[in-house]
Amino acid sequence: MNGLRLVVAVVLCLISFLQLFTQNRPTAYIVSPKREMRGIWVSTVNNIDWPSQPGLSAAQLKREVGAILDNVERMGLNTVFLQVRPASDAIYMSRIEPWSVYLTGRQGVNASSSGFDALHYWIDEAHRRGIELHAWINPFRVSQRVDMECSPLHVSRRHPEWIIAYGGKQYLDPGRPEARAYLLDVTRDILTRYDIDGIHFDDYFYPYPVRDEVFDDSLSFARNNPQRLPLAEWRRGNVDDVIRSVGALVKSVKPWAAFGVSPFGVWRNKDVDARGSDTRAGITNYDVLYANVTKWVEQRWVDYIVPQIYWESGHPAANFDVLSRWWAGLPHRGVHFFVGHAVFKINTGTKSWDNGMEMPAQIEKVRATAGLEGSVFFSYRQFNRDLLGLRAAMTERLYRQRALSPLELRENGATDIEISRLRFKRGKLTWQVDPKDRGRIRFFAIYRYRKGDDFDGSQSVALWDVVPDAEIELPASRSGRQKYVYRVAAIDLYRHEHPLSDKIVVRQ
């Protein structure tokens, strides 16, 4: 018994030491990629994340946006996926679809008498904090209830022949070419009028199955199937057409914007297809949702994929470790792969998710897996409750340093953007760029390191901040004894980093 007590005491001391070391180790020892996706979904449907309730004033909406983005910045995240089209309606000033009921309280009613455009505000405030904003679109969802009161401008009222009721909800029929063309028009409207960094689709293509119900697309199957394909193959072809068309549209209208999809976490099970994952999922992208994700990657119709791997490590049917390695092992063809994480499962009474180490461990595993470039979390609201220390782990350790987006897209014939006249005066660091280059710049990366340290621009620990303008206020000097070196580099719209500026030394 005494021996057992001694072992327990030694183990507890070791744990305490490791915790103390982790909490107090210097920044230089924290492994953090310089480029990493650190994203968060902000859902508007059913007022999950924002706004907190329908019908808020413009001032109230702005306050909530600011609070969310301040928290996102503090947590070290760099990308917001904002749901701008929750149910064939809009949280922006659409030329095609009505204002969303989740924004105004009644579909089609103006967001405010002043004409406040929520999406413009979200974009400006995100960019002001060095954060990207991707417009998240639900492609085929029309309404959350079949009896929902819809505006005369809503697609369900203007084109009821395109609509299929299923599971108490309404959907656009993907088998109708005119419905797919309508979706392209909606996407084009957003791309041409808003300074977004990307277009994002989630996992809702053909709907998730509802027991004892049939998604009745028999009419469009009969009319729009000239090759006489089997139903499943025809449905996959319809979804393929949407992904291919939207990808081409994004590249033609706004080539620096990224197009990505966050599909269900399992493509196919290995017992059905040798190329599939070693899982036993009851739902798969290919067979149930008719989303042939691997084809989209092979054809490079998308810039990134975020599989929703919403299970824990060791799950008997869909193991996080197995799935994350499977997605990482696909031929990437220049497509970026991130992982979607189920923050909503943490601390909900399930043994696997009452372990405070599960999510930090998942983040670390993604970071350590070649072929994966970061994480996206569902969803923002969850960070307002007890997540067993996750937020502190992100803020103080995992995401302590800023990171640039890994979504570097191709650009032809671009010249370098030079930073000149780096100065420190009256507490502010300022610099200049050639006016002809200003429209090419999204952000500036600010690097800080102690004088005498080696630095070549690659070390993540020196990436101190990301800002949109050519100035930044530095922290107030505490003693004036420590000398820091500052350097600045431009990050263009395609996310390429340009040459570092000359050095400037500041006493702090």
Write down the pLDDT at residue 22: 38
Contact between residue 447 and residue 455 where contact means Cβ atoms under 8 Å apart: yes
Helices 231-253 and 177-193, packing angle to 10 deg: 20
The boundaries of every CATH 2.60.40.10 domain in the chain are: 420-507
Write down the pLDDT at residue 4: 42
143 vs 159: CA distance, rounded Å = 14
Per the structure block, which two tokens stand in for 198? 């990307």
220 preceded by a cis bond (ω within 30 of 0): no
Domain 420-507 part of CATH 2.60.40.10: yes
439 vs 21: CA distance, rounded Å = 45
Write down the pLDDT at residue 481: 81
- Global pTM value: 0.93
Write down the pLDDT at residue 98: 95
401 vs 372: CA distance, rounded Å = 19
DSSP string, 281-340: -S--IIIII---HHHHHHTT--SEE--B--S-TT-SSS-HHHHHHHHHTS--TT-EE-EE
* Sheet strand arrangement including 420-425: 420-425, 428-432, 471-473
The boundaries of every CATH 3.20.20.80 domain in the chain are: 31-398
Identify the burial level of 441 via C-beta atoms within 10 angstroms of its C-beta, where 0-12 means exposed, 13-18 middle and 19 or more buried: middle
Write down the pLDDT at residue 25: 35
116 vs 11: CA distance, rounded Å = 58
Secondary structure of 411-478 in the HEC alphabet? CCCCCCCCCEEEEEECCEEEEECCHHHHHHEEEEEEEEEECCCCCCCCCHHHEEEEECCCEEECCCCC
Write down the pLDDT at residue 57: 93
Instruction: Give the number of other CB atoms < 10 A from CB of residue 124.
Output: 13
Write down the pLDDT at residue 109: 66
Domain boundaries 31-398, CATH class: alpha beta
Would you give the DSSP letter of residue 66?
H
Per the structure block, which two tokens stand in for 112? 């405010």
- Residues 155-207 have pLDDT tens digits of 999 999 999 999 999 999 999 999 999 999 999 999 999 999 999 999 999 99
Would you give the DSSP letter of residue 497?
B
**Closest to 78 (Cα-Cα) out of 360, 404, 306, 443:** 404
Low-confidence residues in the chain, pLDDT < 70: 1-31, 109-115
Contact between residue 383 and residue 77 where contact means Cβ atoms under 8 Å apart: no
